[in-house]
Structure formats: C-alpha cells, structure tokens
Amino acid sequence: MKDTFRILVVDDDRRMVKTICDILTFKGYLYETAFTGEEAVEKVKTLEPDCVLMDLRMPGIDGIETLKILKNLSPGLPVLMMSAYATEIQEEAAELEGAFKILPKPIDIQLLLSFLSLLRKEKSILVVDDDPDFCRTLSAILRARDYQVETESDPDKVLAHMEDKYQLVVILDIKIGNTGGLETMEKIRARYPTKPVILATACRDEMLDSIEKGLKIGAHSFIYKNYEEKELLEMIERIRQKKLRAFLGESF
C-alpha cells in the first residue's frame, strides 16, 4: 500500500503548472508534472498517481487522446480536465472517456482543493465482523488496492468508531454479536442516513430474509463471504466514483 498521495499536473503552459504546483505544495500535497500527453502516459505508468489534472488542448497527443490511454492503463484513475474553452464535442468526448469534469480556466482552486481532500478520504473502509480470518483476508485484499482499512469486532462500538473517523463504506456482518448486524445497521442508518453499508454473510439460504430486511433498512448491497474479489472491488469503486462525481455536481 502506498503511503503517499500524489497528483500529476499535465499542461504545456509551464506557468500554469508552476502556479498549481506551488499551491499544492503549500497545502501539503506531493505532485509530479508533465508538459505533453506522451510524458503524462509515462508518468502514470511509473508513478501511479492518485489523481491527474490535465489540460484539454496540448500539442502532440491532446488531452482527450491522452485521457483514453490513461483510462486503459488505470480505469479507476480520477482525471480532471482543464480548458479555457471547451467545445460541446470535446465535452462529450471527455465524458465518454471517463473524465470526472472539465474545470474552466482559470480553475477554481478552492473547488480543486476540496475535491482532492475528499478524494484522499474516500479510501477508508470499516469492516465490522467478529471473524478474524475474514477480517484479515478482506483487509489484505483492500489494502493491496490502496484502501485504508480498519476493523471492529464489537457491534456496540461501531458508531463510536464511525464518529472518530470518516469511512467511504462500511462492510457489516449480518450475524455479528448477540443481536445481529441488522440492529447495528439500523443504528448506522439512523445516525448516517446516506452512509453506504455492504452486508456480508457466510450463509446463503438461511439468511435471505435478513438480507431482504437489511436492504429495506437501507443497505447498499450485500456479499457472500465466498465473494468474487473482482466483484467486491468493482462494487466499492462504483460507490467511490459516484460520491466523488456527486461532489463535483453534474460532470458536464
């Protein structure tokens, strides 16, 4: 797991790059720079940045073509485009290729910094389960994808845990403790109405009623403990992407 958070700033306007990077440095962020699309592709391959801020119009490979290559290399990589004047066709192309948003130049620095702050937080996951093997295995999988994972085995401590630290999502065992996960789910929903909660169970048929009740209470979804790793990671990434896009408003 990486212990740094790094932004790649891509623009052929070197003064613009310097201005943005000076602000990022002042706010405590690490950054890398690229002045062409080709250079950006190489930087993403070697550095694996957490976010890319990239100009739409550049000589050589332009922003849209570079975006397409970057998304092939790293589909979940958040990319914000910049432009002083973007045509409707360019906006449609950027949306199609997976850009979060086109920020008009001069860019809204406060919006950018707020987005980066949220992006940094949206990697934290709380696993609530009294099965240490499940917690250990799931934590290893998530940390390998750069998620920050904490575990809690006592359902009575979950709300205090959530008050102490922000979480992108909570993964909750339906059968945890004496009262079960549904009571914990109700408490979470009462305190945090929109917090995504993924229910987990090792039992299929006998837990169908509990799964249905959990979804009615407001659980986002559920997984069986013999889950497909790819399916779970995609589920979490969809939640993350949706929350980040919601912060920026309508993408285009």
The pLDDT tens digits for 80-107 are: 999 988 888 888 899 889 899 999 999 9
The domains located in the chain, with CATH, are: 6-120 (3.40.50.2300), 123-242 (3.40.50.2300)
Question: What sections of 98-228 are H helices per DSSP?
Answer: 109-121, 132-144, 158-164, 181-191, 208-217
Q: What is the pLDDT along the chain (252 residues), one digit of tens a residue?
A: 455 789 999 999 999 999 999 999 999 999 999 999 999 999 999 998 999 999 999 988 999 999 999 999 998 899 999 998 888 888 889 988 989 999 999 999 999 999 999 888 888 999 999 999 999 999 999 998 889 999 999 999 999 888 878 889 999 999 887 767 899 999 999 999 999 999 998 877 778 888 899 999 999 999 988 888 888 999 998 898 888 888 887 544
Q: Could you tell me which residues come within 8 angstroms of residue 34 by beta carbon, excluding any fewer than 6 positions away?
A: 8, 9, 10, 40, 42, 43
Distance between CA atoms of residues 110 and 55, nearest Å: 18
Instruction: State pTM to two decimals.
Output: 0.79
Conformational region of residue 207, where left means phi above 0, alpha means psi within -120 to 50, and beta covers everything else: alpha
- Residue 252 amino acid letter: F
pLDDT in tens, 32-60: 999 999 999 999 999 989 999 999 999 88
b/e for 39-48, b at 16 or more Cβ within 10 A?
Answer: bbbebbeeee
